[in-house]
Amino acid sequence: MLIDSHAHLDMPQFDDDREELIERSAYGGLDHILTVGTDLDSSLAAVKLAQQYNIVHAAVGYHPHNAQECDLKELDRLAQVTSKPKVVAWGEIGLDFFRRLSPPEEQLRVFSRQLEIANDLKLPVIVHDRDAHKEVFAILKKMGKGDKRGVIHCFSGDIDLARDFIELGYYISIPGTVTYKKASLVKKVACDIPLERMLVETDAPFLAPVPKRGKRNEPLFVTYTAMEIARIRNIEFEEVARSTTQNAKDLFTLK
Protein backbone atom coordinates (compact mmCIF):
# COMPACT_ATOMS: atom_id res chain seq x y z
CA MET A 1 0.00 0.00 0.00
CA LEU A 2 1.05 3.60 -0.64
CA ILE A 3 -0.15 6.99 0.54
CA ASP A 4 -0.27 10.02 -1.73
CA SER A 5 0.57 12.66 0.85
CA HIS A 6 -0.30 15.64 -1.35
CA ALA A 7 -2.92 16.06 -4.07
CA HIS A 8 -5.52 18.66 -5.04
CA LEU A 9 -8.60 16.59 -5.80
CA ASP A 10 -10.91 19.61 -5.76
CA MET A 11 -9.31 21.14 -8.86
CA PRO A 12 -11.33 21.34 -12.10
CA GLN A 13 -8.98 18.95 -13.91
CA PHE A 14 -10.78 16.17 -12.01
CA ASP A 15 -14.35 17.32 -12.50
CA ASP A 16 -15.12 14.78 -15.22
CA ASP A 17 -13.90 11.63 -13.44
CA ARG A 18 -13.17 12.42 -9.79
CA GLU A 19 -15.08 9.46 -8.35
CA GLU A 20 -13.62 7.00 -10.85
CA LEU A 21 -10.13 8.32 -10.17
CA ILE A 22 -10.50 7.83 -6.41
CA GLU A 23 -11.89 4.32 -6.91
CA ARG A 24 -9.03 3.55 -9.29
CA SER A 25 -6.56 4.71 -6.66
CA ALA A 26 -8.05 2.45 -4.01
CA TYR A 27 -8.10 -0.60 -6.29
CA GLY A 28 -4.56 0.22 -7.42
CA GLY A 29 -3.13 0.00 -3.92
CA LEU A 30 -3.43 3.44 -2.32
CA ASP A 31 -4.24 3.38 1.36
CA HIS A 32 -4.95 7.10 1.71
CA ILE A 33 -4.94 10.32 -0.33
CA LEU A 34 -4.43 13.67 1.37
CA THR A 35 -6.21 16.40 -0.57
CA VAL A 36 -4.81 19.82 0.25
CA GLY A 37 -6.47 23.23 0.32
CA THR A 38 -5.00 26.40 -1.17
CA ASP A 39 -7.57 28.98 -0.01
CA LEU A 40 -10.87 29.08 1.84
CA ASP A 41 -13.02 27.62 -0.95
CA SER A 42 -10.60 24.85 -1.92
CA SER A 43 -10.07 23.96 1.73
CA LEU A 44 -13.81 23.62 2.28
CA ALA A 45 -14.01 21.51 -0.87
CA ALA A 46 -11.17 19.30 0.43
CA VAL A 47 -13.02 18.75 3.69
CA LYS A 48 -16.18 17.84 1.79
CA LEU A 49 -14.31 15.28 -0.32
CA ALA A 50 -12.83 13.75 2.82
CA GLN A 51 -16.35 13.23 4.16
CA GLN A 52 -17.44 11.57 0.90
CA TYR A 53 -14.62 9.08 0.29
CA ASN A 54 -13.10 6.61 2.73
CA ILE A 55 -9.50 6.89 1.52
CA VAL A 56 -9.48 10.71 1.34
CA HIS A 57 -8.32 12.99 4.17
CA ALA A 58 -8.04 16.77 4.08
CA ALA A 59 -5.70 19.63 4.91
CA VAL A 60 -6.83 23.26 5.07
CA GLY A 61 -4.81 26.40 4.51
CA TYR A 62 -3.84 29.36 2.35
CA HIS A 63 -1.22 28.87 -0.38
CA PRO A 64 1.37 31.65 -0.78
CA HIS A 65 0.02 32.37 -4.27
CA ASN A 66 -3.24 33.40 -2.61
CA ALA A 67 -1.79 35.26 0.36
CA GLN A 68 -2.76 38.70 -0.94
CA GLU A 69 -6.42 37.62 -0.99
CA CYS A 70 -6.34 36.16 2.52
CA ASP A 71 -8.49 37.87 5.10
CA LEU A 72 -7.29 36.80 8.53
CA LYS A 73 -10.94 36.21 9.47
CA GLU A 74 -10.93 33.42 6.89
CA LEU A 75 -8.11 31.76 8.80
CA ASP A 76 -10.35 31.77 11.85
CA ARG A 77 -13.02 30.07 9.74
CA LEU A 78 -10.52 27.42 8.66
CA ALA A 79 -9.47 26.89 12.27
CA GLN A 80 -13.09 26.05 13.08
CA VAL A 81 -13.25 23.62 10.15
CA THR A 82 -10.36 21.59 11.56
CA SER A 83 -12.72 20.15 14.15
CA LYS A 84 -14.45 18.16 11.41
CA PRO A 85 -13.56 14.49 11.01
CA LYS A 86 -10.64 13.60 8.73
CA VAL A 87 -9.01 17.06 8.74
CA VAL A 88 -5.46 16.03 9.60
CA ALA A 89 -3.12 18.91 8.70
CA TRP A 90 -2.80 22.63 8.00
CA GLY A 91 -1.62 23.44 4.51
CA GLU A 92 -0.64 24.24 1.92
CA ILE A 93 1.24 27.18 3.37
CA GLY A 94 4.64 28.75 2.81
CA LEU A 95 6.56 31.06 0.53
CA ASP A 96 6.95 31.21 -3.25
CA PHE A 97 9.48 33.78 -4.39
CA PHE A 98 9.65 32.27 -7.89
CA ARG A 99 6.25 33.24 -9.26
CA ARG A 100 5.50 35.95 -6.66
CA LEU A 101 1.77 35.91 -7.35
CA SER A 102 1.40 37.61 -3.98
CA PRO A 103 3.88 40.20 -2.64
CA PRO A 104 6.58 38.65 -0.42
CA GLU A 105 5.54 40.72 2.60
CA GLU A 106 1.98 39.39 2.30
CA GLN A 107 3.27 35.84 1.94
CA LEU A 108 5.37 36.24 5.08
CA ARG A 109 2.45 37.67 7.06
CA VAL A 110 0.03 34.90 6.10
CA PHE A 111 2.61 32.13 6.47
CA SER A 112 3.61 33.24 9.96
CA ARG A 113 0.03 33.55 11.14
CA GLN A 114 -0.89 30.12 9.81
CA LEU A 115 2.08 28.53 11.55
CA GLU A 116 0.87 30.03 14.81
CA ILE A 117 -2.66 28.71 14.28
CA ALA A 118 -1.45 25.23 13.36
CA ASN A 119 0.81 25.19 16.40
CA ASP A 120 -2.11 26.18 18.66
CA LEU A 121 -4.26 23.45 17.10
CA LYS A 122 -1.43 20.90 17.35
CA LEU A 123 -1.73 20.13 13.64
CA PRO A 124 1.23 19.25 11.40
CA VAL A 125 1.88 21.73 8.58
CA ILE A 126 2.37 21.17 4.86
CA VAL A 127 4.97 23.68 3.70
CA HIS A 128 5.43 25.08 0.19
CA ASP A 129 8.96 26.38 -0.41
CA ARG A 130 9.99 27.60 -3.84
CA ASP A 131 13.02 29.86 -4.23
CA ALA A 132 12.64 30.88 -0.59
CA HIS A 133 14.75 28.27 1.18
CA LYS A 134 16.57 30.65 3.51
CA GLU A 135 13.42 32.50 4.53
CA VAL A 136 11.31 29.37 5.07
CA PHE A 137 14.01 27.70 7.13
CA ALA A 138 14.52 30.80 9.30
CA ILE A 139 10.79 31.04 10.06
CA LEU A 140 10.44 27.34 10.85
CA LYS A 141 13.56 27.43 13.01
CA LYS A 142 11.93 30.15 15.12
CA MET A 143 8.99 27.83 15.69
CA GLY A 144 11.36 25.41 17.37
CA LYS A 145 12.07 21.73 17.02
CA GLY A 146 9.47 19.01 17.36
CA ASP A 147 9.01 15.35 16.57
CA LYS A 148 6.29 15.78 13.93
CA ARG A 149 6.22 19.44 12.94
CA GLY A 150 5.12 18.78 9.38
CA VAL A 151 6.40 18.12 5.89
CA ILE A 152 8.29 20.12 3.29
CA HIS A 153 6.10 19.44 0.28
CA CYS A 154 7.53 18.84 -3.20
CA PHE A 155 11.06 19.33 -1.89
CA SER A 156 13.33 21.29 -4.24
CA GLY A 157 16.38 22.07 -2.11
CA ASP A 158 19.69 20.27 -1.73
CA ILE A 159 20.67 17.49 0.65
CA ASP A 160 22.09 19.88 3.26
CA LEU A 161 18.83 21.82 3.42
CA ALA A 162 16.88 18.57 3.66
CA ARG A 163 18.97 17.50 6.64
CA ASP A 164 18.46 20.89 8.29
CA PHE A 165 14.66 20.56 7.96
CA ILE A 166 14.79 16.99 9.26
CA GLU A 167 16.76 18.19 12.27
CA LEU A 168 13.90 20.57 13.07
CA GLY A 169 11.44 17.67 12.96
CA TYR A 170 10.08 17.90 9.42
CA TYR A 171 9.59 15.16 6.88
CA ILE A 172 10.74 15.56 3.27
CA SER A 173 8.23 14.78 0.53
CA ILE A 174 9.51 13.47 -2.79
CA PRO A 175 7.37 14.26 -5.86
CA GLY A 176 7.23 12.78 -9.33
CA THR A 177 10.05 15.03 -10.49
CA VAL A 178 12.44 12.43 -9.04
CA THR A 179 11.70 10.36 -12.17
CA TYR A 180 12.96 13.10 -14.52
CA LYS A 181 16.37 12.38 -16.08
CA LYS A 182 17.91 15.76 -15.28
CA ALA A 183 16.49 16.06 -11.74
CA SER A 184 19.84 15.36 -10.08
CA LEU A 185 19.14 17.45 -6.97
CA VAL A 186 15.98 15.66 -5.89
CA LYS A 187 17.47 12.29 -6.87
CA LYS A 188 20.36 12.96 -4.48
CA VAL A 189 17.94 13.87 -1.71
CA ALA A 190 15.77 10.81 -2.35
CA CYS A 191 18.86 8.62 -2.21
CA ASP A 192 20.50 10.04 0.91
CA ILE A 193 17.90 11.16 3.45
CA PRO A 194 16.77 8.61 6.07
CA LEU A 195 13.86 6.59 4.74
CA GLU A 196 12.06 7.10 8.04
CA ARG A 197 11.80 10.84 7.30
CA MET A 198 10.46 10.53 3.74
CA LEU A 199 6.98 10.88 2.27
CA VAL A 200 5.91 10.48 -1.36
CA GLU A 201 3.39 12.60 -3.22
CA THR A 202 1.97 13.48 -6.61
CA ASP A 203 0.89 17.13 -6.27
CA ALA A 204 -1.83 16.00 -8.69
CA PRO A 205 -2.93 17.27 -11.15
CA PHE A 206 0.60 18.70 -11.58
CA LEU A 207 4.09 17.17 -12.04
CA ALA A 208 3.17 13.80 -13.49
CA PRO A 209 6.08 11.34 -13.25
CA VAL A 210 7.69 9.43 -16.08
CA PRO A 211 6.14 7.56 -17.94
CA LYS A 212 3.08 9.84 -17.56
CA ARG A 213 4.98 13.11 -17.87
CA GLY A 214 3.07 15.74 -19.78
CA LYS A 215 -0.30 14.25 -18.86
CA ARG A 216 -2.64 15.04 -15.99
CA ASN A 217 -1.19 13.64 -12.79
CA GLU A 218 -3.34 11.56 -10.47
CA PRO A 219 -2.80 9.95 -7.04
CA LEU A 220 -2.19 6.42 -8.33
CA PHE A 221 0.88 7.67 -10.21
CA VAL A 222 2.68 8.01 -6.87
CA THR A 223 3.59 4.36 -7.54
CA TYR A 224 6.08 5.48 -10.21
CA THR A 225 7.71 7.85 -7.74
CA ALA A 226 8.12 5.10 -5.15
CA MET A 227 9.53 2.75 -7.81
CA GLU A 228 12.16 5.31 -8.78
CA ILE A 229 13.15 5.91 -5.15
CA ALA A 230 13.59 2.15 -4.72
CA ARG A 231 15.76 2.04 -7.84
CA ILE A 232 17.93 4.95 -6.72
CA ARG A 233 18.41 3.51 -3.24
CA ASN A 234 18.87 -0.05 -4.54
CA ILE A 235 16.19 -1.43 -2.24
CA GLU A 236 12.90 -3.22 -2.74
CA PHE A 237 9.81 -1.26 -3.74
CA GLU A 238 7.98 -2.81 -0.80
CA GLU A 239 10.44 -1.23 1.63
CA VAL A 240 9.81 2.24 0.20
CA ALA A 241 6.05 1.66 0.26
CA ARG A 242 6.05 0.32 3.80
CA SER A 243 8.23 3.08 5.24
CA THR A 244 6.65 6.06 3.50
CA THR A 245 3.17 4.78 4.33
CA GLN A 246 4.01 4.41 8.00
CA ASN A 247 5.62 7.86 8.02
CA ALA A 248 2.48 9.45 6.60
CA LYS A 249 0.30 7.58 9.07
CA ASP A 250 2.49 8.75 11.94
CA LEU A 251 2.61 12.38 10.82
CA PHE A 252 -1.06 12.77 9.95
CA THR A 253 -2.45 10.32 12.53
CA LEU A 254 -4.03 8.08 9.92
CA LYS A 255 -5.31 4.58 10.64
Per-residue H/E/C for 190-243 = HHHCCHHHEEECCCECCCCCCCCCCCCCCHHHHHHHHHHHHHHHCCCHHHHHHH
Q: Are 30 and 218 in contact (CB under 8 A)?
A: no
Give which of 131, 122, 128, 120 is closest to 151, Cα–Cα.
Answer: 128
SS (H, E, C) the chain: CEEEEEECCCCHHHCCCHHHHHHHHHHCCEEEEEEECCCHHHHHHHHHHHHHCCCEEEEECCCHHHHHHCCHHHHHHHHHHCCCCCEEEEEEEEEECCCCCCCHHHHHHHHHHHHHHHHHHCCCEEEEEECCHHHHHHHHHHHCCCCCCEEECCCCCCHHHHHHHHHHCEEEEECHHHHCCCCHHHHHHHHHCCHHHEEECCCECCCCCCCCCCCCCCHHHHHHHHHHHHHHHCCCHHHHHHHHHHHHHHHHCCC
For the chain, the domain total comes to 1
Nearest 5°: phi and psi at 9? -70, -15
CATH of the domain at 113: 3.20.20.140
Q: For 205-231, how does the pLDDT look when each residue is reduced to its tens digit (9 = 90+)? A: 999 999 999 999 999 999 999 999 999
Q: For 29-57, how does the pLDDT look when each residue is reduced to its tens digit (9 = 90+)? A: 999 999 999 999 999 999 999 999 999 99
Range of the domain at 177: 2-252
pLDDT of res. 255: 87
pLDDT of res. 79: 98
Give which of 170, 228, 232 is closest to 202, Cα–Cα.
Answer: 228
**Is residue 168 very low, low, confident or very high in pLDDT (cuts 50, 70, 90)?**
very high
Q: For 62-105, how does the pLDDT look when each residue is reduced to its tens digit (9 = 90+)? A: 999 999 999 989 999 999 999 999 999 999 999 999 999 999 99
Q: Dmax of the chain from CA atoms?
A: 49
Instruction: Confirm whether pTM is higher than 0.95.
Output: yes
**Is residue 112 very low, low, confident or very high in pLDDT (cuts 50, 70, 90)?**
very high
